[in-house]
Chain A
């Protein structure tokens, strides 16, 4: 070892340091209850300092935060008013260019072949036949210019068009008393939403962006566009839709992002 270099923290023996500190503190404090309390708190705080781990890495802390996040899902479901609409904007306010965002880079965008594409619909639905894009385009189309809000905080205004998801769910005879709708995507992304949000009038099975077929970077052949949800809840390149009563989780949600993830 270079003698001019101070030894790094890793070379300190954590166990020995704790034992030493316990001995010193124990000597100073007469009452056994106080001693026990102090040495115990020393173990918790001291260990995290010595190992360089933050409080977040503690297993119990992680479990508690996860439990609160699930509690927050319930509160948010309760706050959600199906009749409350997200604000809409004039075309002049559309963000140019609308930003690309995914869990991979823009050079890795998946190309889905239109001719062979079929949308799978499974789970608690009456009609499980596969859908082609022309069949979806033949349904009543709606437009919206709304704000997309990312979990990172930034937002952008975009122009989407497509089929109202509520219309689609009714067309396939979905059990709308079920709790969840799940999505599997061509880019291996997956997510799921609550049924009240699925039936919200502004939830679109978006087939177009700015009046043109959805370009690959915005999720061709289709994206679920929900102005009431954060970006990571809006799946792109959707291949399969399923209705279920078991929470399917999601790509980001399983890593700790809030499942409800929206307004």
Chain B
């Protein structure tokens, strides 16, 4: 029998309670990443509008850059922020052991249990230090999705220089679709993420200050 992560919580000792919910480096990485993603997504929409391959365009009013050249400048500036910050995040996450502590184990039965509990409104948020299985899957998914965005972006930026990567992703034109769909998945994640923050607002406090915040 596995013990559902979210309910097995609440055992945090008083000394552990004084530890920040999220270490400082993680909070810094989170907000830098949020900025980079915001710039990349909104400028990317403008770039997509220059030659849409789906039967719709993104309203220019919510895009960044003002025109194609400006959008490209924003996109190719923020990409450095995303990649540098992403590498720091991955390195610290792996070296500190946080990646394996927080996101694993991940099991189908755990996912089922926590998803059902969430739908019935019975999911416990007693210990913000512990991610339930649905959260683990969502965060691991968005890490891999971001990696796919970087790799497909690399094919679009340097279609000649990385032939193996280009062929793996189905060539230049297919990489454009991958890049777009991976963006859409990232935006969907952000949407769900923001709804969750709205439902449990103290998670925002802990991502800002590191403190656990008031329990309701």
| Beta-carbon contact of B163 and A87 below 8 Å | yes
Is A84 close to B, CB under 8 A? yes
Q: Which residues of B contact A72 (CB under 8 A)?
A: 76
Give the Cβ gap from A74 to chain B, nearest Cβ, in Å: 13
| Beta-carbon contact of B158 and A79 below 8 Å | yes
| Beta-carbon contact of A149 and B73 below 8 Å | no
Contacts A65-B77, A68-B77 given; indicate if A155 touches B173 (C-beta within 8 A): yes
Q: Identify the closest chain A residue to B167 (Cβ).
A: A87
Q: Which residues of A contact B158 (CB under 8 A)?
A: 76, 79, 263
Partner among B66, B72, B77 whose Cβ is within 8 Å of the Cβ of A151: B72
Is B80 close to A, CB under 8 A? yes
Partner among A68, A76, A81, A227 whose Cβ is within 8 Å of the Cβ of B73: A68
| Beta-carbon contact of B69 and A257 below 8 Å | yes
For chain B residues 58-98, which have a beta carbon within 8 Å of chain A?
Answer: 64-66, 68-70, 72-74, 76-77, 80
Is B176 close to A, CB under 8 A? yes
Is A54 close to B, CB under 8 A? yes
Give the Cβ gap from A232 to chain B, nearest Cβ, in Å: 10
Q: How many chain-B residues does the 8 Å CB contact rule pick out?
A: 28
Q: How far is the CA of A255 from the CA of B161 in the complex (A)?
A: 26
Partner among A54, A80, A86, A227 whose Cβ is within 8 Å of the Cβ of B66: A54
Is A51 close to B, CB under 8 A? no
| Beta-carbon contact of A150 and B66 below 8 Å | no
Q: Identify the closest chain A residue to B52 (Cβ).
A: A153
| Beta-carbon contact of A152 and B68 below 8 Å | yes
Is A242 close to B, CB under 8 A? no
Is A228 close to B, CB under 8 A? yes
Contact mask for chain A residues 142-167; partner B; CB cutoff 8 A; 1 contact, 0 none = 00000101111111000000000000
Contact mask for chain B residues 166-182; partner A; CB cutoff 8 A; 1 contact, 0 none = 10000111001000000
Is A189 close to B, CB under 8 A? no
Q: How many chain-A residues does the 8 Å CB contact rule pick out?
A: 35
For chain A residues 64-80, which have a beta carbon within 8 Å of chain B?
Answer: 64-66, 68-69, 72, 76, 79-80
Q: Which residues of B contact A154 (CB under 8 A)?
A: 51
Q: How far is the CA of A155 from the CA of B173 in the complex (A)?
A: 8
Q: Identify the closest chain A residue to B78 (Cβ).
A: A68
Q: How far is the CA of A150 from the CA of B65 in the complex (A)?
A: 18
Is A252 close to B, CB under 8 A? yes
Q: How far is the CA of A55 from the CA of B73 in the complex (A)?
A: 13
| Beta-carbon contact of B160 and A252 below 8 Å | no
Q: Identify the closest chain B residue to A72 (Cβ).
A: B76
Contacts A66-B73, A68-B73, A72-B76 given; indicate if A54 touches B157 (C-beta within 8 A): no
Q: Which residues of B contact A44 (CB under 8 A)?
A: none
Is A256 close to B, CB under 8 A? yes
Contacts A66-B73, A72-B76, A155-B173 given; indicate if A80 touches B64 (C-beta within 8 A): no
Give the Cβ gap from A146 to chain B, nearest Cβ, in Å: 10
| Beta-carbon contact of A81 and B161 below 8 Å | yes
| Beta-carbon contact of A68 and B80 below 8 Å | yes
Q: How far is the CA of A86 from the CA of B166 in the complex (A)?
A: 11
Is B48 close to A, CB under 8 A? yes
Is A57 close to B, CB under 8 A? yes
For chain A residues 211-242, which have a beta carbon within 8 Å of chain B?
Answer: 227-228
8 sample A-B contacts, Cβ–Cβ < 8 Å, listed by A number: A54-B66, A56-B70, A57-B66, A65-B74, A66-B73, A76-B158, A256-B72, A258-B76
Besides A56-B64, A152-B50, A227-B160, 13 new A-B residue pairs in contact (Cβ under 8 A), listed by A number:
A54-B64, A54-B66, A65-B73, A84-B161, A84-B163, A86-B160, A87-B163, A149-B159, A149-B172, A153-B48, A153-B51, A256-B69, A256-B73
Where the two chains meet, the residues of B that have a C-beta atom closer than 8 Å to any C-beta of A are 47-48, 50-51, 53, 64-66, 68-70, 72-74, 76-77, 80, 157-161, 163, 166, 171-173, 176
